[in-house]
Structure 1
């Protein structure tokens, strides 16, 4: 049951909501902007409504898989394994030839299911920095650094602390190109680009 649930978490985490939402509007999100399937590129390409839909889809798949794991498993280490599997699925989706998003929303959704107080604090930092800078990468990189700090402050268990650290590392791994653009002063904002052409 433990391994089956981890595999299920990976498969659910692999669902590319940004791509699916774009397809419903006649857009392959991978062909526009950064080419990423996550909320930020959806916001720049398709606007706020599609971005919110993507945000909820990507966040809920992390949260719901943790809640399911909590309901059927009694070992917190395996619950954390399911949470990490959902994030890995998002980042390296089996449905997209092991390509995917950057994992921020799915990570924070899973974190909410594991430890809601430090997760809410982390998400608050994420939202505040997004609003202040209009750059999703700065918000992701800064808030993910806060996640283990909040985990320690709120006294979470060792498996959840490990989750916060591994989540941080995966976020930084997926943001290497963003870090390079930030250092070069060329990072994109969340402002919507010009309208894109729909597919026939």
Structure 2
């Protein structure tokens, strides 16, 4: 139990590193004041451009992967699940930014990548197929998430892994609730649209 507590704390702290926010600050911009207000790759793309977004996404994937790896090494499958899930929560709800972070797609992808690289790749392809005709990045994120979860559940993965991917999906879908409402209404922002200052 002590190992899981340590892993959980490490996972949360790693996940809560606000890379997108810090990248924006280096350029004198608070990304939370633009677009969706999130600190993840999509809002960074719309606010700061592709290179800043690419760096943000790479780091967000990396911190999820590192949290998952350390959890696995220290406490096995349940450590992987606890560390990975807390990293996802940390990204979405970082204590340093008054619990206003990103939407956990890249960080959760990094967590899943440790054991399920093929499933993540296929999930990315499924998400891309959803983005191409609609230019809704949020829809692609939701489709990719569902695709990874389904693959892991049907693959006979350990219970800890199955619970983990379901938990990651819950975080991602909760964080995309407003996006889902805009998708249903046909008013979701499309890829290529610059972020506007928030009121």
TM-score by length of 1: 0.90
State how far apart, in whole Å, the 1-side matches of 2:7 and 2:58 are: 22
RMSD (Å), alpha carbons: 1.8
1:78 equivalent in structure 2? 79
Distance 1:181 1:195, change over 3 A: closer
> Per-residue deviation at 1:153?
3.8
2:186 equivalent in structure 1? 185
Structure 1 stretches lacking a partner, 5+ long: none
Q: Is the 8 A contact 1:147 1:168 kept in 2?
A: no
Q: Is the 8 A contact 1:92 1:98 kept in 2?
A: yes
1:136 maps onto 2:137 in alignment: yes
State how far apart, in whole Å, the 1-side matches of 2:129 and 2:168 are: 20
Structure 2 stretches lacking a partner, 5+ long: none
Q: How does 1:41-190 map to 2 (within 5 A)?
A: 41-73=43-75, 75-190=76-191
Q: Is the 8 A contact 2:68 2:84 kept in 1?
A: yes
> Per-residue deviation at 1:6?
1.2
TM-score by length of 2: 0.90
> Per-residue deviation at 1:71?
2.3
Q: Deviations over 1:108-159 (max 9, x none)?
A: 1100013223222222323343344321110011111112211134332221
The alignment of Structure 1 onto Structure 2 pairs a total of residues equal to 195
